Amino acid sequence: MSTKAATPGLFDPAIIRRAAIDAFGKLDPRKLARNPVIFVTEMVSVVVTLLFIRDVVTQNGVASFSGQIAAWLWFTVLFANFAEAVAEGRGKAQADALRKTRSDAHAKRLIDPNNRSGMQDVIEGVSALDLRLGDIVLVEAGDLVPGDGEIIEGVASVNESAITGESAPVIREAGGDRSAVTGGTTVLSDWIKVKITAAPGSTFIDRMIALVEGAERQKTPNELALSILLSGLTIIFLIVCVTLWPLARYSGTMLSVTVLIALLVCLIPTTIGGLLSAIGIAGMDRLIRFNVIATSGRAVEAAGDVDTLLLDKTGTITFGNRMADEFIPVGNVAEHALAEAVMLASLADETPEGRSIVALAKSRYGLAAPADDADARIVPFSAHTRISGVDLPGRSLRKGAVDSILAQSSVPKDHLPEDFKRAIERISRTGGTPLAVSENGFLLGLVHLKDIVKPDIKDRFAALRAMGIKTVMVTGDNPLTAAAIASEAGVDDFIAQATPEDKLTYIRKEQQGGRLIAMCGDGTNDAPALAQADVGVAMQTGTQAAREAGNMVDLDSDPTKLIEIVAIGKQLLMTRGSLTTFSIANDVAKYFAIIPALFVVTYPELEAINIMKLASPQSAILSAVIFNALIIIALIPLALKGVAYRPVGAAALLRRNLLIYGLGGILVPFVGIKLIDLAVSALHLA
């Protein structure tokens, strides 16, 4: 079970307080220049403020009106800054939690790592901050791993809850795809020698902190394109408002600069302009809450368009170790008797296969490990004999490779039981490994070892299929074994006997066909494919090379997490599109509010389009400006939480969003502006 700390709420008081302060700090024009829409709003707010000061000094009768307009324009800028600050604040809260995992612990650095002297290892105590690339450290039970690295010797149980939030310890060992360790984790048992692969300040946790704080968040291509669109609309409406002044004067209508600025701010897309950055930050934050670290916003966005997923089989779809799946007795041997015999033969077997045999015997047959027998003699596994077992008084129990057991068996090879041969053929056909079991030279049966598919993974792949994502398993196994695993896991296709070059070729071919590819993997041999894929999700349990090649790291090492990753990516795109639609649709109501207010004196016929029956021209303009500011605050929860994603077709999603955010964007301002007008009128009358 996960032990992650509770995620801060949408409006956690501590985050709100910090965001309110940060909103004022973001008024710096150099910071706002990255957001053209809000930058323009700030500049015109300065102009209206100066006009208000002039009106006060000259005791102009419109000072009250220009002052209210100036105040609400500043509120518009502050609310936009506040939206971004809240999104960043949630990331900073995550970063603060991550900082607690860092420690200025001491490390046991080996002075002569190659042991050229031939003597016992010489160790010096140094600060973890003094470690450099290539240093080799000894980490013993109870020690913190001082930095990111690769295990070069030893095996240990490691508590990674500080990184993954998972309380169950994991096994890390030299060689293979589970040799990477992360600084800040704790060794619980045994010892390991670790070669440091990241300098202080560049560790995995340091990168995570920088990412979740948004310090290195760059705008994605989609976000840049939308920023260009919003800038274009702002320029267009700026030209419209500037040219409107001489046209109005020609018709006999005198428009003040304050009114024209109010019109400009109401027409430019301030709503989506104020929320755009918050939407992107919140998308990465949602990934973090699913225990996935994205090293780029581009990857989050690309995840929303992924249509093909490549998964490495070993350690990704399967657990990666051969595990006992069933006991198959032969002849008249009872299944329970076979289970008891093979459990006794495996009690001293500390290999993953041996432990899985004992676990299966206990869970499926209710067997209990016997008390230690002083007369028992353990026969350890040997690569030469390929046999292990135990000798008890009157019983000699052995398990091992079929050929090795048969060589010691009293049964001639040409007289093997038919059910024994059929069982071997069935196990081999499904890609499993048979282990033979004997007692005193007589065959008892077989143990079916197989690379176990992770539980519930078939249902998860079905969910991916419902999203329109094709799943492809990549494995180095022969086609027969690959087909068996693919069928059990429920993937759509598989690539057998795949080399790193084969994976790259497949990804490039699919990308040339216009597909976006996601790749999940954990091994060094997966690194090239992870780097080439549009979305490369590396498992936290994988090697350092895999984690550096991918643009996402799954801290739970769950390949089906891509379902959440894709959903979050789609949610990000949908949220951005929906709020853009809502923002642009808002302008319709503002036309009906402001245009009559500007020209009704000169052209009384325009009163016909004052369908909201607003109290006065000044009240109409002020109500539109107030609504324009308040709608940003109202939409912050939606920007942070995201528009709900459902695995339906694109056409259905488009219809739904146009109905809700297009039609809603037209209707909501009519109601909102009218209610604000009633309140403004009541206050003025009072």
Residue 69 DSSP SS3: helix
Closest of 204, 368, 312, 331 to residue 528, by C-alpha: 312
φ, ψ for residue 109, nearest 5 deg: -90, 135
Residue 286 assigned as binding residue: no
Does the annotation count 372 as an active-site position?
Answer: no
Residue 383 assigned as binding residue: yes
Residue 385 assigned as binding residue: yes
Phi-psi region of 291 (alpha: psi -120 to 50; beta: other; left: phi over 0): left
State the pairing for strand pair 149-159/170-173.
antiparallel
φ, ψ for residue 535, nearest 5 deg: -130, 110
H/E run at residue 300: helix 297-303
Q: Using CA atoms, how far apart are residues 657 and 571, in angstroms rounded to an integer?
A: 12
Distances (CA, A) of 76 to 192, 331, 342, 624: 57, 83, 74, 12
Q: Using CA atoms, how far apart are residues 237 and 235, in angstroms rounded to an integer?
A: 6
Cβ burial of 566 (10 Å; 0-12, 13-18, 19+) is buried
The amino acid occupying position 287 is: L
Q: Which residues lie closer than 8 Å to 350 by C-beta, 6 or more apart?
A: none
H/E run at residue 667: helix 664-685
Residue 639 assigned as binding residue: no
Residue 353 assigned as binding residue: yes
DSSP 503-566: HHHHHHHHHHTT--EEEEE-SGGGHHHHHHSSEEEEETTS-HHHHHHSSEEETT--GGGHHHHH
β-bridge partners, 109: 124, 137
Q: Using CA atoms, how far apart are residues 468 and 443, in angstroms rounded to an integer?
A: 50
The amino acid occupying position 74 is: W
Residue 381 assigned as binding residue: yes
Distances (CA, A) of 562 to 218, 297, 487, 518: 22, 16, 20, 9
φ, ψ for residue 629, nearest 5 deg: -80, -45
Closest of 285, 351, 273 to residue 94, by C-alpha: 285
One-letter-per-residue 3-state SS of 214-263 = CCCCCCCHHHHHHHHHHHHHHHHHHHHHHHHHHHHHHCCCCCCHHHHHHH
Residue 349 assigned as binding residue: yes
Of the candidates 285, 312, 451, 534, the residue annotated as catalytic is 312
Are the C-beta atoms of residues 19 and 82 closer than 8 Å to each other? Answer: yes
Residue 386 assigned as binding residue: yes
β-bridge partners, 293: 553
Residue 336 assigned as binding residue: no
CB count, 10 Å around CB of 288?
A: 20
Closest of 500, 505, 502, 547 to residue 522, by C-alpha: 547
**Rg of the chain on CA atoms, in Å:** 34
Are the C-beta atoms of residues 563 and 463 closer than 8 Å to each other? Answer: yes
Residue 140 assigned as binding residue: no
Residue 99 assigned as binding residue: no
Annotated binding site for Mg(2+): 522, 526
Annotated binding site: 349, 353, 381-388, 399, 522, 526
Catalytic (active-site) positions: 312
Annotated binding site for ATP: 349, 353, 381-388, 399
